[in-house]
Structure 1
């Protein structure tokens, strides 16, 4: 199975900014999405001339959560120019793909976005997208419940083509962190906090450093840490670092709320290896329970500092 790629959207206002980000020596991503709808001076040729990694070109209309409010012909024409200039991928919406004149150069990502809900008929919609003219399917919907999260992950399990399936919103982080476990083609992360192009994106450096994105596989054990006190990401990062040091193949995902017993029931088929809440659990004790090992000094120091806050 191919490794899941980490993708960062370049939602910047100038071509020069996009090129500067791509040429950064410490870029934490495998692939980048060029958001033409954000650029005031879109120049696909210049961006492609500076690319250090594969590039997706997207020109998203406002109706699909993008920044483009001009005409449809002009929008599709710029995508065509990006393809002819050598784009690796073109992202085109499912309801517009029939109007895009594909030249056979870029791989087509056919996408569906819903910022209001996760529709009950989403599996049927994906089947139709798979049968259409595309190489990759992309779905991003708003998760209002854990059932929505499971529905999105289910798309990856049932995929017949390379698939990107993400849930947006506070609960959607589960689908982003666990994308590699379920064989997602790629996962979107933000360049930094405050630079999200969709609700729920996690900074790319956090994905790599805090959640060990590059080491997650179908065999990775999953644990949930529920924390309503605002320390969830720090606790998850500390536990994940301790597991890395101990060579334990697990990942801790932090959630802002939820009853551990209910989460264990809902995510039985994930499968979920463990769940705990900051209301009544200590990270060090959870580490021992989950891994069968004693916490090392670094984790104990973290837990001590957490208790003093």
Structure 2
């Protein structure tokens, strides 16, 4: 696997068509550990064949509009699609911390039935909360039954980026796998740094035009940075 220090590399793909997903992802499969399929970006999210065809673990995400995604249907339908993805072979599933607790529990139960892992996530597109709020979010994730947490904010300063990355210290103390980094131009470095600071996973794009979040590095650029670091004297 392309595991660097502790962190995994996940390529995030949002496409309307499962055939486009496969053709786009295939060239970068040797460079990544996980493929995130954004069900909320698909015209027909019945992607069982797509999951089966990928020679890497799949993370299924169905991001609602209220947390920056494209899903506008009912919460029950959204969660049912995530549960279906687990039955189709997804090894990870993402569910938002703000999802109703009974629906969270449904996904966690289904995931563990299929020996898959649940990422409970929180995304702030408006800014970076103070340290107390961030740590409260982390505590909620650890109490939720999540296998992995994901806390992503939007940063405009170095201080905000450092505040998010500092969450890794608390997560490591509790032996809780956590993805923690920041969106936006200021946060781009955190997407790389988290790989070496105990972060469970970072997310990369197929290309700049296909980025699924602000400040997301491409798979190629992320590997260029890794290559430079590997060749230090």
TM superposition shift of 1:109: 0.2
Match of 1:207 among 216, 222, 225: 222
Pairing of 1:120-139 with structure 2 (within 5 A): 120=130, 121-139=133-151
Pairing of 1:97-246 with structure 2 (within 5 A): 98=101, 99-100=103-104, 101=106, 102-103=109-110, 104=112, 105=114, 106-120=116-130, 121-159=133-171, 160=174, 161-209=176-224, 211-212=225-226, 240=228, 244=231
1:188-243 per-residue CA deviation (whole Å, 9 max, x = no partner) reads 1111111110000011101102x116xxxxxxxxxxxxxxxxxxxxxxxxxx38x8
Larger radius of gyration: 1
**Does 1:66 pair with 2:69?**
yes
Structure having the higher helix fraction is 2
1:128-185 per-residue CA deviation (whole Å, 9 max, x = no partner) reads 2112111000011101221110111101122131000010001111211111220111
1:252-295 per-residue CA deviation (whole Å, 9 max, x = no partner) reads xxxxxxxxxxxxxxxxxxxxxxxxxxxxxxxxxxxxxxxxxxxx
1:77-129 per-residue CA deviation (whole Å, 9 max, x = no partner) reads 10010112221001000121621412212200000011001111111111121
Q: Distance in 2 between matches of 1:202 and 1:25?
A: 14
TM-score (ref. length: structure 1): 0.67
- Mark the runs of 5 or more structure 2 residues left unpaired by the alignment: none
Aligned length: 218
TM-score (ref. length: structure 2): 0.88
- CA 1:198–1:25 in structure 2 vs 1: closer, same or farther (change >3 Å)? closer
Instruction: Let me know the Cα RMSD of the aligned residues.
Output: 1.8
Using CA pairs below 8 Å that are at least 6 residues apart, which structure has the higher relative contact order?
2
8 Å CA contact retained: 1:28, 1:204: yes
8 Å CA contact retained: 1:23, 1:50: no
1:1-45 per-residue CA deviation (whole Å, 9 max, x = no partner) reads 963111111111111111223433665322110000001011231
Q: Distance in 2 between matches of 1:194 and 1:180?
A: 23
- CA 1:187–1:97 in structure 2 vs 1: closer, same or farther (change >3 Å)? farther
- CA 1:138–1:25 in structure 2 vs 1: closer, same or farther (change >3 Å)? closer
Name 1:14's counterpart in structure 2. 17
